[in-house]
Structure 1
Amino acid sequence: MSKIRIAVAGAGYIGLAHMDVARESPTCILSAIVDPAPAAKAIAAKAGVPLYPSLDELLSKDRPDGVILATPNQLHVPQALQCIKAGVPILLEKPIASTLAEGEQLVKAVAEAGAKVLIGHHRAHSPIMARAKEIVDSGKLGKLVAVVGSATFFKPDSYYNDAPWRREIGGGPILLNMIHEVHNLRMLCGDIVAVQAFASQATRGFAVEDTVAINLRFASGALGSFMLSDTAACARSWEQTSQENKAYASYGDEDCYVISGTNGSLSVPTMRLKTYPTPEDRSWWKPFDESVADMVRDDPLKHQLEHFGAVIRGEALPLVSARDGLLNLRVTEAISQAAQTGQVVQLPVT
């Protein structure tokens, strides 16, 4: 079987990560890079692939089997529509769009064209998440009752000094970080139908929040509580616990999610399980059976690319569809709205 030719549009941080994965893939190959920036010339030369300044030129001269769009957020929808029109499958980095209206436009276009579009919520391809979902779906925890989650970490001053737009509206951890957590929570606990939030700027004093306390209601009736902060010197975040991205220091004794049901709880990513041995004899006076579920740690970007290849070949449907990407964006924007207004924001049941 010949390798699938993948072009990467956008030679920034995440684009470079996609290129590295493509070069190591057993089934895909990096065929081209698209980026108008002068620095991209050296990147393409090092990778040994042609460089194109625009998608137009790529699609007209060197049509790939699939395109990874790792470009700035405001380009996601117009470039995705361009690829759909050309009939080229897409792996579109999150967020699906800059606005809900644009996201809805893209979801409609995908449906009408029957296009192959995978949204790049890469944690959906994490073996840790797959194992956690398997345990939750098995019913081992009983009926889901609650989830407690956190994404608490400390971004250095340079993060904001290097990109001052992150201090202004449109930046901040709700829009930049929480969308990852939203997909994980939806994957494990189902759709989110209502949110509340308190936001604080007390530590950094920027126009955007630095810390947020969030309450969630799931369609199942389960409730969630989530703490988000980019100024908390704390290791309870996915990056610092999953050990999937080696750029981050990680701590094997920390969890970022605890999912509780009527018969037990699962802590993620340590995969510590506490369950009652006999559901008929449950009580806080009774001891739990304690265990650690087996799982593997591996790079989700690698698994995402292999899945994208399967989507291109028609062997699989996108694990994260355009509709999923839109729902993630909708919940994230609802959290921002709830924090700004102090109101409970209801979301449509899908």
Structure 2
Amino acid sequence: MAKPLRFGLAGYGLVGRRHAASISQAAGATLAAVVETDGVSGRKAKAEGFEVFTTIQRALLSGDIDGMILATPNTVHVEQALQCVEMGCPVLIEKPIANSASDAKSLVAQAAARQVPVLVGHHRRHNPIIKRARQIIEDGQIGDVRAVQASCWFYKPDTYFEAAPWRRQAGAGPISVNLVHDVDLLRHLIGEVVSVRAIARPARRGGANEDVASALLDFANGAVGTITVSDSIVAPWSWEMTAGEYPIYPRTSESCYLFGGSLGSLSLPDLRVWRHEGEEPDWWTPISATAQIREGSDPLVNQIAHFRDVIQGNAAPLVPGEEGVRTLEIIEAIQQSVQSGETISIG
């Protein structure tokens, strides 16, 4: 039996601990070291049996790390990822890949020059629901995708902001923190976005960020999309509350994405394809839905297994650094459009 790959994990907060749990469930993987500067989190990791380092460099110099996962604030992603790249260590970076697309491009270029894999943690692409949805669209079951509607609505309690005051600062609103996931999925399922037009409103609960925003997306293949996000709306229509990925969120039976095609439509995450009876679409004929079958597995565990396969040379990255850059460019364009009131071209 092959020796399990040894992973390092930088950041042992809420997201980091989810990665640790996923590593424990992934075949051929083990968590060898935790990098943590916070004393409380570091002691927690140590109490759970992990070797703890205060810097990534020290962890990598221990010689026992095959790949590093960064679950740290995005302000330090590039700095930490470059340390991994310089030492030839493959790295999986939590979304967003960086604070800015320009910084992300520099990181990706240096990693490419050294031929070190850089992956981005848009873990939803590893969800069997999304894999099946992409297959449905690529197989032409709904024809040409003409439009998409995406909702990312939920209500974060006041304690969420009180626990971390930085969440009220400019750039820490739901456009950057939450919408980046949804935009990445739309890119993955439909294709590249060539321009955006967006509006947002200041947070009613105070702070320098927005609490609701909407964007019109123009896709290169001719499709159009609308996407809205809010962390101050009470609603069941968000990926978190419909997909059942993470049990801390109450699950509903609603859908948050609607894809409209020339032959039918697809709703997600319930994976229902709607079509008219007969050979040709006709709004006077009955329309019905067919539920699609898909496998069931944890996308975060799938992501770790994929990272293992990439390190071993058995797979190409599903979300390489370049994909993280492109998604971040759209988020920046949305923020720029909010400020200027203009349509922003991308790429």
Decide whether the 8 Å contact of 2:275 with 2:281 is kept in 1.
Answer: no
Decide whether the 8 Å contact of 1:245 with 1:299 is kept in 2.
Answer: no
Q: Residues 149, 41 of structure 1: CA spacing in aligned structure 2 closer, same or farther, 3 A cutoff?
A: closer
The reply to whether residue 109 of structure 1 matches residue 110 of structure 2 is yes
The reply to whether residue 311 of structure 1 matches residue 281 of structure 2 is no
**2-structure distance, mates of 1:128, 1:302:** 15
State the match for 1:257 in structure 2.
257
**1-structure distance, mates of 2:245, 2:296:** 7
State the match for 1:320 in structure 2.
319
SS at structure 1 position matched to 2:260:
strand
Superposition deviation, residue 289 in structure 1 = 4.1
Deviations 1:315-346 (A, max 9, x none): 00110010000001100011111111110011
The reply to whether residue 330 of structure 1 matches residue 326 of structure 2 is no
State the match for 2:266 in structure 1.
266
Give, as a single letter, the amino acid of the residue that structure 2 aligns with 1:145.
R
SS at structure 1 position matched to 2:286:
coil
Superposition deviation, residue 23 in structure 1 = 1.8
Which is worse superposed, 198-207 or 255-264? 198-207
SS at structure 1 position matched to 2:210:
coil
Decide whether the 8 Å contact of 2:84 with 2:90 is kept in 1.
Answer: yes
The reply to whether residue 145 of structure 1 matches residue 149 of structure 2 is no
State the match for 1:28 in structure 2.
29
Deviations 1:139-193 (A, max 9, x none): 0100110001100000001111111111121211001111001111101111111
**2-structure distance, mates of 1:297, 1:210:** 33
Decide whether the 8 Å contact of 1:243 with 1:297 is kept in 2.
Answer: no
Equivalences for 1:84-163 in 2 at 5 Å? Answer: 84-163=85-164
Q: Residues 27, 104 of structure 1: CA spacing in aligned structure 2 closer, same or farther, 3 A cutoff?
A: same
**2-structure distance, mates of 1:294, 1:135:** 11
State the match for 2:81 in structure 1.
80
Gaps spanning 5+ residues in structure 2: where? none
SS at structure 2 position matched to 1:210:
strand
State the match for 1:11 in structure 2.
12
Q: Residues 41, 207 of structure 1: CA spacing in aligned structure 2 closer, same or farther, 3 A cutoff?
A: closer
**1-structure distance, mates of 2:72, 2:122:** 15
Superposition deviation, residue 225 in structure 1 = 0.8
Decide whether the 8 Å contact of 1:124 with 1:130 is kept in 2.
Answer: yes
Superposition deviation, residue 276 in structure 1 = 3.3
Superposition deviation, residue 300 in structure 1 = 0.9
The reply to whether residue 287 of structure 1 matches residue 257 of structure 2 is no
Which is worse superposed, 231-240 or 167-176? 167-176
Decide whether the 8 Å contact of 2:108 with 2:118 is kept in 1.
Answer: no
Between the two proteins, the alignment pairs up a number of residues equal to 346
Superposition deviation, residue 25 in structure 1 = 2.1
Superposition deviation, residue 284 in structure 1 = 1.4
**2-structure distance, mates of 1:130, 1:334:** 27
State the match for 2:47 in structure 1.
46
Decide whether the 8 Å contact of 2:168 with 2:206 is kept in 1.
Answer: no
State the match for 2:68 in structure 1.
67
Give, as a single letter, the amino acid of the residue that structure 1 aligns with 2:109.
K
Give, as a single letter, the amino acid of the residue that structure 2 aligns with 1:274.
W
Decide whether the 8 Å contact of 2:155 with 2:231 is kept in 1.
Answer: yes
Deviations 1:60-104 (A, max 9, x none): 123311111111111111111111111111111111111122111
SS at structure 1 position matched to 2:178:
helix
**1-structure distance, mates of 2:296, 2:150:** 20
State the match for 1:212 in structure 2.
213
Give, as a single letter, the amino acid of the residue that structure 2 aligns with 1:347.
I
**1-structure distance, mates of 2:208, 2:77:** 25
Decide whether the 8 Å contact of 1:244 with 1:298 is kept in 2.
Answer: no
Decide whether the 8 Å contact of 1:40 with 1:51 is kept in 2.
Answer: no
Superposition deviation, residue 47 in structure 1 = 2.9
SS at structure 1 position matched to 2:20:
helix
TM-score by length of 1: 0.96
Decide whether the 8 Å contact of 2:276 with 2:283 is kept in 1.
Answer: no
SS at structure 1 position matched to 2:227:
strand
**2-structure distance, mates of 1:139, 1:203:** 43
Superposition deviation, residue 22 in structure 1 = 1.2
Cα-Cα RMSD: 1.3
State the match for 2:299 in structure 1.
300
Superposition deviation, residue 202 in structure 1 = 6.0
Deviations 1:186-237 (A, max 9, x none): 0111111111111112633432111112110111010001121111100100
**1-structure distance, mates of 2:206, 2:213:** 14
Decide whether the 8 Å contact of 1:9 with 1:15 is kept in 2.
Answer: yes
State the match for 1:241 in structure 2.
242
Superposition deviation, residue 121 in structure 1 = 0.7
**2-structure distance, mates of 1:191, 1:206:** 33
